[in-house]
Amino acid sequence: MTRCGIDLVEVARIQQSAEKNPRFVTRVFGDLEQELFQGASRYQRMAANFAAKEAFSKVLGTGFRGFKLTEVQVLRDEWGAPFFQLNGAAAEKARGLCFSVSLTHTREYAQAFVLAEETEKGGMDGC
């Protein structure tokens, strides 16, 4: 069975949250993700990663209950393609699912689309 989740985020909302409350970034994003948030488009990247976390929670059908947002890191491979690095309770909740993530953003909006396919092996290693 295939599951999907999608989310759209206003970049200004994420920027405002990050600037008004510095703890927002450490509460929502893992250490490796935070390294991605450099340069001129940092808030667009933050918003895209946040949208991916929302889409991930929609795939699970749980919302943000039962795991920490920092346990779902949205990283990039050597070609720039996004992928999830899961740990803790998030990894447990995602057991048996293989994920594909797509991100896009403009100056004003960021969007993420997540597909999850159930695997026979029962873990992300089967992707």
Q: What is the pLDDT of residue 1?
A: 84
Q: Are 110 and 50 within 8 A, CB to CB?
A: yes
CATH of the domain at 98: 3.90.470.20
Q: How far is CA 42 from the centre of its chain?
A: 15
Check whether 125 has a pLDDT greater than 60: no
What's the structural domain count of the chain?
1
Mean local confidence (pLDDT), 81-85: 97
Q: What is the pLDDT of residue 109?
A: 98
User: What are the pLDDT digits (tens) for 66-76?
Assistant: 999 999 999 99
Q: What is the pLDDT of residue 22?
A: 83
Check whether 12 has a pLDDT greater than 90: yes
What percentage of the chain exceeds 70 in pLDDT? 94
Which has the closest alpha carbon to 95: 55, 65, 74, 123? 123
User: What are the pLDDT digits (tens) for 27-81?
Assistant: 999 999 999 998 889 999 999 999 999 999 999 998 899 999 999 999 999 999 9
Give me the count of residues in the chain: 127
pTM: 0.92
Range of the domain at 67: 2-126
